[in-house]
Chains A and B, each alone.
Chain A
């Protein structure tokens, strides 16, 4: 794979993305929503000096953080429990960008001229993947850092320590990029079969269901956040899904298929 070609595709995609304000909004908005809800709750508890016993199932929450006072444990449970939703950003955003990119090219019939150059399909896909994944990774990491610092500032520095835990640092470095990659591949595969970006996103949207299910199960199971073991299993699972998606993707996106069916 020649990096100069990947870079050329990346720059073109990036320029395209920057000129699409609606899509940029779609990147920023979920990240802000997922971060602001728990932060708002933490601030609400802090400002109103709520009695933790007013919060339902408090004993169960506090059990997750034995060394912390009840109020801080409740805040800790809220901030860490919501972090599962951060995984929705890498699941949703790259898919929206990738499907918009591929379907946009199909509509404009601009894939054929690109493939008529010395550019190879893997280089085209790599450029598209990086440009679709990067905004989501940057948004997730940015929100993660801000989330840790802001909640620590609002309540107590120990919340920052809880948020920047080992398992979440590992999740940010490994699981987030892996989910991004899977999301892009899924977006590309779905886009190769449909001609409308909204349809592609709706079909691809099913990828968020397992993540939401995990987050909900975690909440009702009384588990504050992922364990390191769960993060590592998640990495393996998503990596396996990426392998599967690469096989399907290479079949769905070979040069001849693109030219005769997509371009």
Chain B
């Protein structure tokens, strides 16, 4: 469990992270989305006990940043931006080295190394030097390194970067398994599709946290969800509006271009009732789908809004933040 309250990081006169507050529950995947220099990596570094915040604080599984940072590092697994492997060592030696740093010894260490080499499908290459590995193979070893000591909290910076689609799916499936094991997971990514598929909640940030919500709620941009119902038959859609507005879950309904547009609070829960009511009223439904913006549109909208607002100074600030923080 991660609680973040007013977290701030300044590098000299540059503020890389502004007053961040959010929480990540056990068994939750929290995505941090933002452009380069948005402060994602700096945030993760603070939460992993690598660098000290300038103000604010956080607790990770009950340990506070600062005095509890050593304990936090022990219970945290981190996939850094760059794999950062030791080229002259084999994959097995790399993992064994990090296993020792996480306190694993003897048979326990050997089992963990073999297990995670297997998880990332790298056992056949275990005794080869990392120097000859492709970008994707390095990324797999770095993922194995982050998970080797069965951490309770996991930070993954671009976990599927450099991986082919099949390997990326393996990693996503494994992250999903970690969620089911109750781990708290923070993923930094530019990959909106991946964020939407994996994350329970997403925080869009650019120096500060612009919005935090579930992917579905973000796509609705804070408004009620709109469901479009396509009908087939002699009766026009306007003849069903009265039936629908009588339903307690429907916030509004209207006929639009031969379809029905229905506003709901929670489409995943309320759509079956809506469909049942329409069928009872004699409607012949051909399709039902939620009308929502894509996550990409929401992201670009939010980030663009900040970009426009900060236009005169944004270029200078972003460059400085990247230089110092990334």
Contact = CB atoms under 8 A, between A and B. Distances in A.
Interface of A: 4-5, 8, 11-12, 15-16, 19-20, 108-120, 255-256, 259-260, 263
A16 B88 contact: yes
B114 to A, nearest CB: 19
A117 B86 contact: no
A161 B167 CA distance: 68
Given A116-B80, A256-B52, A260-B324, A4 B100 contact: yes
A16 B76 CA distance: 27
Interface in B1-59: 11, 45, 48-52
Task: Give the one of B78, B84, B129, B325 with max A CB within 10 A.
Answer: B84
Nearest to A116: B78
Given A5-B101, A259-B51, A260-B325, A118 B74 contact: yes
B86 A12 contact: yes
A259 B74 CA distance: 17
Nearest to B326: A260
16 contacts: A8-B97, A8-B100, A15-B89, A16-B88, A109-B80, A109-B81, A109-B84, A110-B84, A116-B73, A116-B76, A117-B102, A255-B51, A256-B52, A259-B51, A260-B324, A260-B325
Given A109-B84, A116-B80, A259-B50, A16 B89 contact: yes
B88 A111 contact: no
Contacts of A4: 100, 105
Contact of A259 (B45, B70, B101): B45
Contacts of B142: 113
A113 B51 CA distance: 13
Contact of A118 (B52, B70, B81, B89): B70
A144 to B, nearest CB: 30
A116 B151 CA distance: 12
Contacts of A8: 97, 100-101
A116 B50 contact: yes
Contacts of B45: 259
A212 B84 CA distance: 39
B88 A118 contact: no
Contacts, number: 80
Interface in B63-92: 70, 73-74, 76, 78, 80-89
B133 interface: no
Q: How would you classify the secondary structure of chain A's contact residues: helix, strand, loop or mixed?
A: helix
Contacts of A115: 50
A117 B94 CA distance: 14
B98 interface: yes
Given A8-B100, A259-B45, A260-B325, A117 B73 contact: yes
Contacts of A15: 88-89, 93
Q: What are the 9 closest A-B residue pairs judged by CB atoms, nearest first?
A: A117-B101, A8-B100, A110-B84, A109-B82, A19-B88, A109-B84, A118-B74, A116-B78, A113-B84
B78 A113 contact: yes
Contacts of B312: none
Task: Give the one of A112, A113, A116, A118 with max B CB within 10 A.
Answer: A116
B102 A113 contact: no
A109 B142 CA distance: 12
Contacts of B73: 116-118
A16 B93 CA distance: 11
Contacts of A117: 73-74, 98, 101-102
A3 to B, nearest CB: 12
A231 B70 CA distance: 42
Contacts of B83: 109
Nearest to B16: A260
B145 interface: yes
Nearest to A255: B50
B103 interface: yes
Contact of A112 (B50, B93, B97, B105): B50
B296 to A, nearest CB: 29
Given A8-B97, A255-B50, A259-B50, A112 B80 contact: yes
Contacts of B49: 116
Contacts of B100: 4-5, 8
Contacts of B325: 260
Nearest to A117: B101
Given A19-B129, A113-B80, A120-B70, 7 more contacts: A117-B74, A117-B98, A118-B70, A118-B102, A256-B51, A260-B11, A260-B324
